[in-house]
Structure 1
Amino acid sequence: MGDFVSNQFGALLKNKLEEIQKKNPRFSFRSLAKKVGISPGCLNELMHGKRPLSEFYANKIVLGLELGAEERNEVYSLISTRSRKFAAQKTLAEKELELIASWEHFAILNLIRMKTFKPEPEWIAERLALPLEKVQQSLELLLDLGFIKRKGNSIARSVASLATTTDIPSEALVQAHVSDMHKAIEVLKRTPIDRRDYSAITMAINPHKMEEAKNLIKKFRRKFSMLVEEGDMTEVYNLNIQFFPLTVTESEKPL
């Protein structure tokens, strides 16, 4: 199995390297390693099956090479079973999002990922500053939706991560954003500056660059999460990036 995986993975990277070299003949294997953020030695070991392909390295390769959906799925399908902790990412349906569109549900899902997590509603309520009843309701909902499962006296996530649809109008998603913004305001007022970062920039923009801007923000979010989720995770944070118009467009002007 190891040789089969390394051959498939090695072939994929070799093809990507050759594809880039057609446009830039000076692009080397070392350049490829730098592009994906993995040392040349480590990348070589991954290609030849001397190191198991983990979700961490798969994410670096997928993001660094900006792979399309088909190639992404191919890379993730080669993740070593001993390195895979959970099932693949799940995209929330509208009905599921309507039920879970509040910050505390996602906060609990991420608390579970911490080594210090305690499967006790009282502990969760204390860490998130929530009423015990609200925590119990959230746990029941997450169980009913199949996002978490009980393992003896403990609780585990059923999926690695959750995602929403993109660029599709959704009232449930709007409510989820509103919930995050209200929480952001609350945290801003009570959290020391060394434990938070709030910043803003106002600019004049070219609207034709919107799609490219969205893709850049999406790529940043993924790289950012890979950075802060590495090592011991002891706190749960929420990252919100707002990029919205201050001007009223022609189509929005009242008749």
Structure 2
Amino acid sequence: MKDILTYTSYRQYIADYYADKKAKSAFTWQDFADEAGFSSRVYLKYVSEGRFNLSEEATIRVAKAMHLVDYEREFFAEMVKFDNAKTDADKKTHFRKMLSMAEAHKAKILEGDAFRYFESWKHQVLRELAPAMPGAKPLALAHACRPDITAAEVTAALSFLVKAGLLKKDEQGRYIQTDTYVSTGPMDVTPVAVRGLHRQMGEIALEAIEGVPQDQRHFSGLTLGITRDAYGEIVQKIAEFRKELVAIATRDSATDEVYRLNVQFFPMTKKGINKKG
């Protein structure tokens, strides 16, 4: 079974623990429940499936039943807190603790790099900008960014991008992208960072309305009355449109500017406005 420090979901860890024990013995969910002190034989099965949540007290009992010790119990508890957190800010706090614990014990959370990448707009911009300005020093890259950032922030961002394998340096010290496109993928933790990124990019877009000449930016919008079926069709069209834009942007290896496109499609009325009374 994988080291607990490589997990981000306590539910998946419980499921994997059960599967591992089951493969080696006649272990049952009833046995698991008995060891953790639960009367319901399917309680932990339902927890692993997302039907029930663990309380703080139940977390301690389950960790003990799985024979977790010291930092393992603490890490398991942080996973539970991350899952139970109601706000993105709280989720980020607990996930950062998980990352810190994993790094302290020389383990790697697979989603850690993705979380950090999407947590800041600087990573996205510098991943595009550094290869477009070969040989440029951090201060020059900082001056090219909008909004303004410091050379120290550039250095930290580039160091992370190289460490995460999103950029690499050639023999001349020039930065090169390892992939032309980075997507979030089907991860559990990354969406927390992505939502924060959308907020950052939305704030930058607001600044651009006044701070960027009109011939260098494009803002437009539509307000539409739609059905639920139309919503699904429009979202699919947006996905196809994004793919087309990526193809246009990547067909030429040169970069003159780094642009951001925000595609936002959200309700401005409450649900059920057309329901019959």
Tell me the TM-score normalized by structure 1: 0.56
DSSP 3-state at the match of 1:163: coil
Q: Equivalent residue for 1:123? A: 140
The one-character-per-residue Cα deviations of 1:6-41 (angstroms, maximum 9, x if unpaired) are xxxxxxxxxxxxxxxxxxxxxxxxxxxxxxxxxxxx
Q: For 2:170 and 2:226, how far apart are their aligned partners in 1?
A: 51
Q: 1:213 aligns with which of 226, 230, 234?
A: 234
Shift of 1:227: 2.9
Tell me if the contact between 1:149 and 1:155 (Cα under 8 Å) persists in the aligned partners.
yes
Where does the alignment leave 5 or more consecutive residues of structure 2 unmatched? Answer: 1-109, 273-277
The yes-or-no answer on 1:154 pairing with 2:166 is no
Please give the alpha-carbon distance, in whole angstroms, between the structure 1 residues aligned to 2:226 and 2:241. Answer: 19
Higher relative contact order (CA 8 A, sep 6+): 1
Secondary structure of 2:168 counterpart? strand
Partners of 1:97 and 1:244 in 2: how far apart?
Answer: 25
Partner residue in 2 for 1:223 = 244
CA contact (8 A) 2:125 2:258 kept: yes
Structure 1 distance, partners of 2:139, 2:114, is: 26
Q: Does 1:104 align with 2:122?
A: yes
Q: Is the 8 A contact 1:103 1:176 kept in 2?
A: yes
C-alpha displacement of 1:222: 1.8
Deviation of 1:200 after TM superposition, in Å, equals 1.2
TM-score under structure 2 normalisation? 0.51
Distance (whole Å) between structure 1 residues aligned to residue 235 and residue 204 of structure 2:
23
Letter in 1 for 2:156: Q
Range with greater deviation from structure 2 (94-103 or 191-200): 94-103
The CA distance in 2 between the partners of 1:151 and 1:140, in whole Å, is 15
2: CA distance between counterparts of 1:164 and 1:131?
Answer: 27
Deviation per residue, 1:87-119 (Å, 9 max, x gap): xxxxxx6433321222111111112443x4334
- Aligned position for 2:257: 235
Greater mean alpha carbon deviation, residues 105-114 or residues 128-137? 105-114
Residues 178 and 166 (structure 1), Cα distance of their counterparts in 2 relative to 1, 3 Å cut = farther
- In structure 2, distance between residues paired with 1:165 and 1:248: 30
Return 5+ residue gaps in structure 1 as ranges: 1-92, 251-255
